[in-house]
Structure 1
Amino acid sequence: MLTLAYRSVEEIEEDMLKSSQGLNLSISEMHLLQAVEDTGSDCTISSLSANQRVSLPSVTAAVNKLARKGYVEKERSPQDGRVVHVTLTRAGQKATTAHRYFHTRMVRSVSHALNAEEQEAMLKGVRKLNQFFADKLHRKEGKF
C-alpha cells in the first residue's frame, strides 16, 4: 500500500508539473530546487549532494541543467574557489512556491476526505512511519 501511495503521489506530481504553464521541470529537478530552498543561504553543491544522497558529479550536472533553464544561479565562493554556492532565481522561487502549494492542496484534500478520528489515526501512523525511516537512515549513516 505504501508503494502504491508513493507512486500515486509521484504520478500526480508529474501531472501537476506537466500542466503548469512555463515549468519545464522533472520531479527530481523540482525536488532539487526544493532542497536548494530548504538549505537556505549556505546552499552549496556539496550540501545538496549530502542532503539528496547523490554523488557530487550528478548534483553538479543537475544544477548546471537547472542553471541553463534559469531556475538557479551558481557562484564560486570568494574564500574557497572549490565551493560553489547555489541560489534560486525568481523562476526557481516561483517553481518551489507552486510545488509547496501543490503539496498543501494535496494534504487538504486527503484530510477533508477523513473524519477527525481518521485524521488523528493517519497522523499518528505517518509520524511512526517517518520515525521508522529516520531511524533506518541514521543507522545507515553510522549515527547509532
Structure 2
Amino acid sequence: MGTYETLNDVLVNLFRDISGIEQKAVRELGYPDITMNDLHVIEAIGAGEPKSMSSVARALSVTVGTLTIAVNSLVKKGYVIRQRSSEDRRVVLISLSARGKDVFKHHDSFRQSMIDSIVKELTPEELEALTRALTKLNSWFRGF
C-alpha cells in the first residue's frame, strides 16, 4: 500500500473509530439520546457563561440556522437552556442545563482518559512528533 492509501486509511479509520468510541461512551454513561452532532454542540456551548447563538455557530463553522435546529432538539431533550439577553432582546443566549453540564463533564473526563492512554504509550520524542504532525494536519483542515 502506498503512502496516499495508507494516510487515507488511517484518517478515515481514525475519524470513524474516535466517533464510535465517543458515541459508545456517551451511551454507556446513560445518555442514549445524544448524537455526535449534539455532543459537538454541547462542547461548543461549554459549561461556563451563556453564549450567543452566533458565537457558538462561528465556533462550529455552521450557520445560525443550522445551529438553531440542533439547539431546538437539545432544548427538548433537556440539555440546553435558551434565553434572551437582558441587554439586547434580539440576542439569543444558550447555556447548558444541569443535565447538559453533566454530559459535558463526563465527556471531558472521557477525552482526558483517552489522551492519557495514548500518551503513556509514546516516548517523549514520539509524542512531540505526533503533536507537531497533528497540529499541521489540524491547520490544514481549518484552512480547507
Alignment of 1:1-144 (within 5 A): 1-22=10-31, 24-37=33-46, 40-134=48-142, 136-137=143-144
Q: Deviations over 1:99-136 (max 9, x none)?
A: 111111111111122223222221221122223334x1
Question: How far does residue 24 in structure 1 lie from its aligned partner after superposition?
Answer: 2.5
Do the aligned partners of 1:49 and 1:55 also contact (CA within 8 Å) in 2? yes
Aligned Cα RMSD in Å? 1.9
Q: Deviations over 1:26-73 (max 9, x none)?
A: 1110110110017x4351122222221222222112112111111111
TM-score by length of 1: 0.83
Q: Which has the higher contact order (CA 8 A, sep 6+)?
A: 2
Q: Deviations over 1:63-92 (max 9, x none)?
A: 121111111111112333321100111111
Instruction: Report the CA distance shift for 1:107/1:73 in structure 2 as closer, same or farther (over 3 A).
Output: same
Identity %: 30
TM-score by length of 2: 0.83
Question: What is the distance in 2 between the residues matched to 1:53 and 1:127?
Answer: 19
